[in-house]
């Protein structure tokens, strides 16, 4: 039996729940929201959708006792309206989302939950670190989507520029899921050819491609006032990797022992959650960017009331 939960039923949480049900990846799904009315509405709506599918998922709501034997929680609680007057600043959410974690984290712990938590909530690296702290779970069992979606945006930008499918592009965006993230161009190849070679051959402006990746979420946000499909799919795909013990390498937000925080870095994702980090050697300029990003996360984490 595969058992999942989604905590927070905003735009992303609803899309996560819908994707779980329509893909049939869980036998049981428990939905949580601050509003009982919304949770019930989502339960009924998903049951209507399910009547037209060939798979079945039992959908429950608002019952923390269900978490005791739940395998995977996708944590998507937040309030996107916190960004409406602060476009360009993901940290505007921190005052809101940190309070949600302070309320929900102890409830997760009290339930006896011992599965995997995949965090979507922003600022992702800070909140993932905070969830590790408040739930008391082993660090390998709590990770965030990190720069996995930013990496896909980079691949899309490169693929479009070179007129190739993005699956032909390899490499990572690293660091904070936020303004200090960066494309580690030393890791990027297209069809096995280093981007440094292609940049010279095709006169590519890699700095502009980096900006396209970094600002990708804001382009979407400015158009429809939230993002949902890309990040929901990223989270559900990571949950599938856990269930199947896929051991895929993804740039997720996971614990860095040396830095003392969670940060977007390559890791092997499988049944244990983070099976292992996947160390890569960066040139000095990219290592400096990684450290700058880590310093930003650490500073923002230190501003939490419980850490001040």
On whether residue 37 sits in a domain, the answer given is yes
pLDDT of residue 137: 98
Mean pLDDT confidence for 89-112: 90
pLDDT tens, position by position, 6-21: 999 999 999 999 999 9
pLDDT of residue 79: 81
pLDDT at 65 over 80: yes
* Dihedral (Cα; 85, 298, 176, 136), 10-degree rounding: -100
Catalytic residue check, 177: yes
**Cα 242 from Cα 265, distance rounded (Å):** 18
pLDDT of residue 201: 93
Q: Structurally, how many domains does the chain consist of?
A: 1
Structural domain of 48? 3-144
Which tokens belong to 130?
A: 């905070």
**Cα 305 from Cα 11, distance rounded (Å):** 28
On whether residue 124 sits in a domain, the answer given is yes
On whether residue 63 sits in a domain, the answer given is yes
- Cα Dmax for the chain: 59
pLDDT of residue 87: 57
Read off the pTM: 0.95
On whether residue 81 sits in a domain, the answer given is yes
On whether residue 288 sits in a domain, the answer given is no
**What is the CATH classification number for the domain harbouring 66?**
3.40.50.720
Mean pLDDT confidence for 269-293: 98
pLDDT of residue 85: 62
On whether residue 39 sits in a domain, the answer given is yes
pLDDT tens, position by position, 71-89: 999 999 988 776 666 555 6
| Percent of the chain at pLDDT exceeding 70 | 96
pLDDT tens, position by position, 17-35: 999 999 999 999 999 999 9
On whether residue 43 sits in a domain, the answer given is yes
pLDDT at 234 over 80: yes
Q: Which of 11, 56, 86, 177 is catalytic?
A: 177
On whether residue 234 sits in a domain, the answer given is no
């Amino acid at each position: 039996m595969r058992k999942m939960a989604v905590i927070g039923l905003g735009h992303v949480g609803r899309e996560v729940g819908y994707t779980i049900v329509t893909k049939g990846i869980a036998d049981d799904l428990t939905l949580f929201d601050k509003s009982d009315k919304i949770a019930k509405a989502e339960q009924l709506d998903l049951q209507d959708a399910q009547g037209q599918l060939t798979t079945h998922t039992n959908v429950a709501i608002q019952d923390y006792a269900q978490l005791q034997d739940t395998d995977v929680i996708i944590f998507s609680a937040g309030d996107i309206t916190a960004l409406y007057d602060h476009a360009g600043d993901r940290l505007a959410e921190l005052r809101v989302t940190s309070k949600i974690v302070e309320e929900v984290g102890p409830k997760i712990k009290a339930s006896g939950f011992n599965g995997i938590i995949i965090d979507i909530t922003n600022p992702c690296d800070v909140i993932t670190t905070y969830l590790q702290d408040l739930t008391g779970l082993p660090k390998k069992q709590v990770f965030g989507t990190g720069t996995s979606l930013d990496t896909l945006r980079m691949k899309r930008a490169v693929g479009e520029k070179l007129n190739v499918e993005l699956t032909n592009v390899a490499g990572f965006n690293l660091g904070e899921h936020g303004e200090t993230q960066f494309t580690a161009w030393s890791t990027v190849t297209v069809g096995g050819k280093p981007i440094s070679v292609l940049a010279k051959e095709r006169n590519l402006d890699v700095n502009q491609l980096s900006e396209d990746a970094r600002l990708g979420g804001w382009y979407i946000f400015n158009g429809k006032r939230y993002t949902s499909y890309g990040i929901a799919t990223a989270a559900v795909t990571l949950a599938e990797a856990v269930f199947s013990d896929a051991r895929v390498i993804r740039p997720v937000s996971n614990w860095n022992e040396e830095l003392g925080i969670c940060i977007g870095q390559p890791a092997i994702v499988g049944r244990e959650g983070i099976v292992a980090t996947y160390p890569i050697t960066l040139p000095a300029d990219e290592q400096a960017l990684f450290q700058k990003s880590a310093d930003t996360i650490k500073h923002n984490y230190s501003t939490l009331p419980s850490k001040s």
